[in-house]
Amino acid sequence: MSKNEKDFQAKNAWLETTDAERKEVFNFNSNYAQFLTNNKTEREFARASVVELEKAGFKPISDYDKLATGDKVYTINRNRAILAAVIGKRDLADGLKIVGAHIDSPRLDLKPNPLYEDGDLALFKTHYYGGVKKYQWVTMPLAIHGLVIKEDGSKVEIKIGEKAEDPIFFISDVLPHLGKDQMKKKMSEGITGEQLNIVIGSIPVDGEDVKEKFKSAILDHLEREYDINGEDLISADLQVVPAFAALDAGLDRSLLAGYGHDDRVCSYTALQAIIDINEPEYTAVTLLVDKEEVGSMGNTGMQSHFFEDQVANLVDLYYDDYSEFLVRRVLQNSRVLSGDVSAAFDPNYPDVYAKHNSAYLGKGIVLNKYTGARGKAGSSEASAEFMGEIRGLFNKAGVFWQTAELGKVDKGGGGTIAQFLANYNMDVVDCGPAVLSMHAPYEVVSKVDVYHTYLGYSVFLEKM
């Protein structure tokens, strides 16, 4: 053993991936790419997850009067969060094995009253959601996804900008010839929130007495094509997302570029992991939640009682006699991988990364002992004991892993859903693949990392 072998140095996973395994890695990723392209909102992701779960034999928890080992169940919260479980061989009160991730991603939401006209154009006003660098969202193809609820309660689903024959939408930017003043501004001020207006039309209605001719034309169009009016847009969840498909990146096709890897890469791998396990020792849970990008607030976020309510539901269906004490025991005995993405080292911006504690594309799933900012403020730190368990598990199962902090000390920070699960007195560690250009409309992951994330979540749910 050379002196350096005692030192920790994560290996590049490609080097130890055989040709047969590479095929498997590429296959897994092409399914993921398809799923990512088709599901760009939390509603779409949740609905598609249900389809996959049902195909794999999972049933709604409401179908059961009694739960027993081997039962595969799921429950969905307001079409935007999901819990799927496979009942384990051990007693439920021995705790759950949970992989939790979030299915919301940064985007632009339409304002409640979005429609206006200006300069012979009709536009929609937006309000950005999550950590968005506003300048990244101009002059590129955008799609509108979501749901409109009409006054009588009926639903109109909207998805425009994804099919080849669909129109796309866009946000304009000032031309360089006239952009002198803009270019002198700080990047955070170059494009403002109120400038994130998407162009939706430019043919006016014909009529002397019509005041807002461009707006009227769009209202006519909405009524004709979707049977919705201006007031209907107030009871709507309409999201503006990039109109790109997820695509292979690089000559060697080793990378995958797409919208919403944060955190659908963890959500997808966690979903596949629970679908593929059979007869786990402990009851295995994949928990996919909404609203992480805005602090996990609201009834579909991790801070909602949804999760706890579902644990109570499991206890109620598992034991002959329900008790709150059993619910507490299930919670405190549970262990969690908080699936969320890490920042991949970016050779264009080396200054913000700490060299020895950075995640790199291609080195496998990233274990983040803690997140937070400054003096670990707001972090939920995994204990040495739990880190040890997970490290041992991954090593034994041949899961490629690395360790990282989000960036250099005092350069910034971030949080995940880990802290909210840790509040139940569970062991939790953050663990997911690294992403280049996180929160950009086009984020990039390494295919081998995606695959080892799936492997890591699988062995955690099934073997530990």
Q: How far is the CB of 432 from Mn ion (least distance, A)?
A: 8
Residue 71 or 340: the one with the smaller Cβ distance to Mn ion is: 340
| Cα 314 from Cα 308, distance rounded (Å) | 10
Q: How far is the CB of 292 from Mn ion (least distance, A)?
A: 6
End-to-end CA distance of the chain: 30
Give the interface size with Mn ion as a residue count (CB under 5 A): 3
Span interacting with Mn ion, options 90-98, 260-268, 350-358, 445-453, rule CB under 5 A: 260-268
- Closer Cβ to Mn ion, 215 or 439, answer by number: 439
| Residue whose CB is less far from Mn ion, 98 or 331 | 98
Task: Tell the smallest beta-carbon distance from residue 110 to Mn ion (Å).
Answer: 21
Nearest to Mn ion of 313, 380 (CB atom): 380
Binds Mn ion (CB under 5 A): choice among 42, 263, 290, 430 = 263
Question: In this structure, which amino acid lies at residue 326?
Answer: L
Is residue 443 a contact residue for Mn ion (CB under 5 A)? Answer: no
Phi-psi region of 374 (alpha: psi -120 to 50; beta: other; left: phi over 0): left
Token code pair at residue 328:
């507490």
Among 42, 117, 262, 405, binds Mn ion (CB under 5 A): 262
As a dihedral over the C-alpha atoms of residue 340, residue 344, residue 349, residue 354, rounded to 10 degrees, the angle is: 90
Q: At what angle do helices 384-397 and 447-462 cross, to 10 degrees?
A: 110
Nearer to Mn ion, 263 or 427 (CB): 263
Question: Among 117, 340, 427, 443, which residue interacts with Mn ion (rule: CB under 5 A)?
Answer: 340
Task: Specify the residue, 311 or 435, whose C-beta has the smaller distance to Mn ion.
Answer: 435
Q: How far is the CB of 263 from Mn ion (least distance, A)?
A: 4
Interacting stretch for Mn ion, rule CB under 5 A, among 140-148, 156-164, 337-345, 359-367?
337-345
* Helix or strand (DSSP H, E) at 156: strand 155-160
381 binds Mn ion (CB under 5 A): no
Cα 159 to chain centroid, rounded: 19
CB 204 within 8 A of CB 230: no
DSSP string, 12-75: PGGGG--HHHHHHHHHHHHHHHHHHHH--SHHHHHHHHHHHHHHTT-EEGGG-SS--TT-EEEE
Stretch that binds Mn ion, among 245-253, 257-265, 281-289, 356-364 (CB under 5 A): 257-265
Closest approach of Mn ion to the CB of residue 120, in Å: 38
Residue from 377, 378, 380, 401 nearest 389 by CA: 401
Q: For residue 305, count CB atoms less than 10 angstroms from its CB and return exposed for 0-12, middle for 13-18, buried for 19 or more.
A: exposed
Is residue 290 near Mn ion by the rule CB under 5 A? no
Window contacting Mn ion (CB under 5 A); options: 209-217, 254-262, 281-289, 343-351 = 254-262
Residue with Cβ nearer Mn ion (262 or 381): 262
Q: Closest CB to Mn ion among 262 and 290? A: 262
What is each CA distance from 309 to 282, 283, 315, 320, 346, in whole angstroms? 19, 16, 10, 18, 41
Q: Which region among 117-125, 273-281, 317-325, 339-347 touches Mn ion (by CB under 5 A)? A: 339-347
Contacts with Mn ion by CB under 5 A lie at: 262-263, 340
